[in-house]
Amino acid sequence: MMPSERLIVAVDMTDGETALTVAKKLQGVPWAFKINYPLVLGAGPRIITEMSGLGRVICDFKVADIPFTNGLIAGEAFRRGASGLIVHGFTGADSVSECVKVAGEFGDDRAVYVVTEMSHPGGTTFTQPNADALCAMAVEAGASGVIAPATRPDRLRYIRERVGSLEILSPGVGAQGGSAAEAVRAGADRIIVGRSITGAGDPKGAARSIIEELETV
């Protein structure tokens, strides 16, 4: 994988015009943009389609409901142009499987990623003790990948052993203290970076220097 294919930029802001301006500056540099509730609530759901005109979009909605409702959310995200959807796993295999099923209806290129252990300090309270079960369930449900913490490379290594060849997307680089190169060395396929790119004076330069760091791995 090319180093630039390892980078996903989290566009965490509420203003749609600002988000599109940042994405245009970065266009063609990262593998994908990841968007989240702040942007979709601030700018409206059409931002999913608008951003998808500038690159691959992963909707980080951490979908966490009964299968019926999960399926509706997944359908809206993919219909509007998302390539990937991040879902919670604690809701159980049926809820996750429904998202995988809906993704498949939109095509083989639509991905579902299951959150395992979260990257922030609170991630150790409930998600860490359940990471094994979440990994096993993600594999069993046919997810494309999992989300695992760049803030804890030892845990990334542990999770890699449990998910086999599933893709690992790893947030927590930069603002949360994790290192891009260390995360990839520990088993991440791709890293998710938000504030240290979008908050930089030169976001493209910041993205490029992370890609350069990844060239050393």
Binding mask 160-179 toward ligand NUP (x if CB under 6 A, else -) reads -----------xx-xxx---
Q: Does 40 bind ligand NUP (CB under 6 A)?
A: no
* C-beta of 67 vs 171, nearer to ligand NUP: 171
Q: Does 209 bind ligand NUP (CB under 6 A)?
A: no
Q: Does 153 bind ligand NUP (CB under 6 A)?
A: no
Binding mask 185-204 toward ligand NUP (x if CB under 6 A, else -) reads -------xxxx---------
Among all residues, whose Cβ is closest to ligand NUP?
194
* C-beta of 95 vs 116, nearer to ligand NUP: 116
Q: Does 100 bind ligand NUP (CB under 6 A)?
A: no
Near ligand NUP by CB under 6 A: residue from 60, 78, 84, 184: 60
62 is catalytic: yes
Near ligand NUP by CB under 6 A: residue from 3, 7, 12, 78: 12
HEC per residue, the chain? CCHHHHEEEECCCCCHHHHHHHHHHHCCCCCEEEECHHHHHHHCCHHHHHHHCCCEEEEEEEECCCHHHHHHHHHHHHHCCCCEEEEECCCCHHHHHHHHHHHHHHCCCCEEEEECCCCCHHHHCCCHHHHHHHHHHHHHCCCCEEECCCCCHHHHHHHHHHHCCCEEEEECECCCCECHHHHHHCCCCEEEECHHHHCCCCHHHHHHHHHHHHHCC
Catalytic residue positions?
Answer: 62
